[in-house]
Amino acid sequence: MGEEAIMKGWQRVVEGVALGRAHEFNSAFYALRPGGWRDYVTLLHPPYTLWHLSYVVLGAAIAPNLHWDRLAASLAAFLLAMGLGAHALDELSGRPLKTRIAGETLRAIAVLGLCGAIALGIAGAVLVTPWLFAFICFGAFVAPAYSLEWFGGRFHSDIWFALSWGSFPLVTSYWVNAEEMGAAAVVGGVAAFFLSLAQRTLSHRVRAVRRKVSGIEGKVRYADGGVEEIDRGWAMATEERALKLLTVSVVAVSVTVLLAGT
C-alpha cells in the first residue's frame, strides 16, 4: 500500500508539471507576462510592428528623392495607426493577447492612435500633395475594418492583411517622397504583399497552437528507426523560428537599402 501511495503521489506531481507546461505558452512569442506596463509592450506586437514599419523605410528608400522629414512623419503615422490604433482595436475584439488593459483604455489608445495618424496625414496632404487624402481615407477605413472585423469579417483576411500591412505602408511612403507612382513602388508593393502573406501563413498555426490548443500528444517515427515525441512546442517550432528570422531579415534589408541610397 505504501508503494502504491508513493506511485500515485508521483503521478500527481507529473500531471501537475504537465498541466503547468500546457499553460506555459504565452499568446505570442513576444508576449510578456500579463499585467502592468508589460501589457502595453505586448500590445505593440514589437517584432511585427518593426517588420511593417520597415516597409515604410523601404518605400522612402527606393523613391527617387528621399526626404528625411517626410520619412519620420510617415513612420510616426504608421506607428500610431498600426502599432497603437489597430492593435488596440484588435485586442479590444476578443482579447487575443490576454492583456489586462481596461476596455476604456484600449478605446482611448485606439482613438488617439488613429486620430494622431490622420492628423499627420492631413498635414502632409496640405504641405506636400493633396493626393495623400486618398491614402488617409483608405488607412482610416481599413484599420478598424480589419481589426474589428466589420462587414462579417470580409476585410479580416490574409489578402487584406497583406494589402493593408504590407503593400500600403510601402506605396504610401514612396508616394510621400516621390509625389508620383513609379515602377519601383509597384514592384516593391508586390514584394511587401507576398512577404506579409508569408508572415500571415506562417502565423496561422502558431496562433492556433498558442491560443486555442490545450495539448498535443503523439510520436514521429523516422525511417532510420528514430522516434520523436510531439507536443505543442514541436507543432509550432519551425513556423515560429521562421517568423523570427524573417522579422530580423526584413528590418535589416530595409536599413541596408536606406543606407545604400544615402
Contact 171, 189 (CB under 8 A): yes
**Measured over all CA atoms, what is the biggest interatomic distance in the chain, rounded to whole angstroms?**
85
Q: What angle do CA 230, 234, 240 make, to 5 degrees?
A: 165
Torsion of CA 232, 234, 238, 244, to 10 degrees: 50
CB atoms within 10 A of CB 120: 20
pLDDT score recorded for residue 214: 87
pLDDT band at residue 186 under the 50/70/90 scheme: very high
CA neighbours closer than 13 Å in the CB half-sphere of residue 215 = 8
CA neighbours closer than 13 Å in the CB half-sphere of residue 179 = 10
Give SS3 for 212: coil
How far is the CA of 31 from the CAs of 9, 49, 99, 142, in angstroms? 34, 13, 9, 25
Q: Indicate the DSSP class of residue 228.
A: E
Contact 128, 143 (CB under 8 A): no
CB-based contacts of 121, cutoff 8 Å, min separation 6: 77, 132, 133, 135, 136, 139
Partners of 220 in the beta sheet?
Answer: 228
Q: What angle do CA 28, 172, 202 make, to 5 degrees?
A: 25
What DSSP string runs through 40-95? HHHHT-HHHHHHHHHHHHHHHHTSSS--HHHHHHHHHHHIIIIIIIIHHHHHHTT-
Helix, strand, coil in percent for the chain, rounding step 5 = 75, 5, 25
Grid look-up 507546461 returns 21
- Record the pTM: 0.87
Q: And the C-alpha cell for 253? A: 534589408
pLDDT tens-digit readout, 206-239:
999 998 998 899 999 999 989 999 999 999 999 9
d(CA 84, CA 88): 6
pLDDT above 90 (res 132): yes
Q: What is the mean pLDDT of residues 236-249?
A: 96
Q: Indicate the DSSP class of residue 100.
A: -
pLDDT tens-digit readout, 9-59:
444 433 433 333 434 578 999 999 999 999 999 999 999 999 999 999 999
Q: And the C-alpha cell for 103? A: 476596455
C-alpha closest to that of 73 among 110, 141, 128, 133: 128
Q: Where do the structural domains in the chain lie, given as residue ranges?
A: 27-260
| Mean pLDDT of the residues in the chain | 90
